[in-house]
């Protein structure tokens, strides 16, 4: 049975409420691996003092904070996200920044009184069941001289951190990702990302390709951390595997990881990130 967009969204909100604290600690606040993109995105949207910025699907606020450092006291940044937990964390670690505001809002349905000079959205476009609706909404609230900045992960074959596990797990659990779930790497090529943004009417679209390095440690660290950090509904599916299947799955992931493993056992993954900028 296919998942309805509204159900998917609800499930996603539950997942993000559960994983936000781990996500913030392990990923977002680390500036490691793919999160080197935060700095790049902020550079590419060319922030000026006094700018009004909206950071869509801001999560725990890492991009929002960096943008806030650039707009000065006369500018401000609004971070918007559907996860109540993520917004709570964002507010907590940014409570001294008077030019940041965090709100709960859905990318497909938000409305504000003002228009923004810059709108950013890092690692979230692929979560929106109706990304076109979200992009239209972003354009509606972007000033006519404004800039859009979007970061996404590359296709899973160029992000082996995800691909290695996904390729193996789906052989054991075909509905690991429920049918009808929007594919998380559907904007993982320059063309697919550009085309979606073009559809909505944005101009001067440019997509830059970055390959960052990420080391999750050795194989046991990589696999152990995956099992430790994965969201509950996914973990429940993994727990249904027989012991022998689990063992086989682990071996398969290990095999997939071999080509990225150095002699000392440490894995070093390449991680492709695409950053798009566009004008109204
Ligand atoms: C991978 S995190 C990225 C967070 C942040 N932009 C960053 O770079 O750390 C994805 C975020 O998208 C949010 N999200 C998913 N669907 C959303 C929607 N429809 N509207 C707003 N936020 C959404 C999740 O709650 C989560 O915080």
Distance of CA 278 to the CA centre of its chain: 19
Is 153 within a domain? yes
| CB burial readout 163-191, b (16+ within 10 A) else e | bbbbebbeebbeebbeeebbebbebbbbe
What mean pLDDT do residues 5-25 have?
90
Tens-digit pLDDT profile for residues 213-231: 999 999 999 999 998 888 8
Q: 31 pLDDT band (50/70/90 cuts)?
A: confident
pLDDT at position 244 over 90 = yes
Q: 57 pLDDT band (50/70/90 cuts)?
A: very high
pLDDT at position 2 over 70 = no
Q: 1 pLDDT band (50/70/90 cuts)?
A: low
Cα 180 to averaged position of ligand 1 atoms, centre (Å) = 19
Q: 98 pLDDT band (50/70/90 cuts)?
A: confident
What share of residues in the chain are helix, strand, coil (percent, to 5)? 50, 25, 30
Is 67 within a domain? yes
**For the chain, what is the mean pLDDT?**
94
Percent with pLDDT over 90 in the chain? 78
pTM exceeds 0.75 for this model: yes
| CATH number of the domain to which 144 belongs | 3.40.50.150
How deeply is 259 buried, as exposed, middle or buried, from its count of CB atoms within 10 A (0-12, 13-18, 19+)? exposed
Cα 20 to averaged position of ligand 1 atoms, centre (Å) = 10
Is 234 within a domain? no
Provide the 10 A C-beta neighbour count for residue 3: 17
Residue list, ligand 1 pocket, CB within 6 Å? 9, 12, 16, 28, 57-59, 62-63, 81-83, 86, 106-108, 122-124, 127-128
Helix axes 243-257, 219-229, angle to 10 degrees: 120
Is 248 within a domain? no
Is 167 within a domain? no
Is 227 within a domain? no
Cα 273 to averaged position of ligand 1 atoms, centre (Å) = 16
Calpha distance 73→261 (Å, rounded): 47
Q: Which residue has the tokens 């500036």?
A: 31
Cα 12 to averaged position of ligand 1 atoms, centre (Å) = 9
Is 222 within a domain? no
Identify the domain containing residue 23 by its residue range.
Answer: 5-158+183-215+271-279
Cα 56 to averaged position of ligand 1 atoms, centre (Å) = 8
E-only strand ranges, 12-159: 52-56, 76-81, 100-104, 116-122, 142-153
**Residue 86 CA, closest ligand 1 atom number:** 27
Is 41 within a domain? yes
The pLDDT value recorded for residue 250 is 95
* Closest C-alpha residue for ligand 1 atom 23: 57
Q: 198 pLDDT band (50/70/90 cuts)?
A: very high
pLDDT at position 138 over 70 = yes
Domain count, the chain: 1
């Amino acid at each position: 049975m296919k998942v309805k967009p509204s159900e998917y969204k609800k499930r996603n909100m539950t997942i993000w409420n559960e994983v936000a604290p781990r996500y913030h600690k392990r990923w977002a606040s680390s500036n490691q691996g793919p999160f080197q993109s935060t700095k790049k995105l902020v550079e590419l949207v060319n922030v000026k003092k006094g700018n009004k910025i909206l950071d869509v699907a801001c999560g725990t606020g890492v991009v929002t904070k960096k943008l806030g450092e650039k707009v000065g006291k006369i500018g401000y940044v609004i971070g918007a996200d559907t996860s109540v937990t993520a917004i709570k964390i964002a507010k907590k670690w940014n409570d001294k920044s008077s030019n940041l505001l965090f709100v709960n809002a859905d990318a497909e349905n938000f409305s504000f009184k003002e228009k923004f000079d810059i709108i950013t959205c890092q690692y979230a476009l692929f979560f929106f069941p109706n990304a076109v609706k979200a992009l239209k909404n972003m354009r509606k609230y972007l000033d006519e001289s404004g800039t859009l900045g979007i970061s996404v992960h590359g296709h899973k074959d160029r992000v082996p951190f995800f691909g290695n596990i996904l390729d193996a797990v789906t052989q054991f659990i075909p509905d690991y990702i429920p049918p009808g779930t929007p594919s998380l790497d559907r904007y993982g090529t320059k063309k697919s990302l550009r085309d979606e943004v073009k559809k909505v009417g944005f101009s001067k679209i440019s997509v830059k390709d970055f390959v960052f390095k990420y080391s999750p440690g050795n194989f046991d660290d990589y696999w152990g951390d995956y099992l430790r950090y994965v969201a509950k509904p996914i973990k429940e599916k993994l727990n249904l595997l027989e012991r022998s299947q689990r063992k086989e799955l682990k071996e398969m992931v290990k095999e997939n990881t071999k080509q990225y493993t150095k002699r000392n056992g440490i894995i070093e993954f390449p991680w492709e990130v695409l950053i798009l900028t566009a004008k109204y």
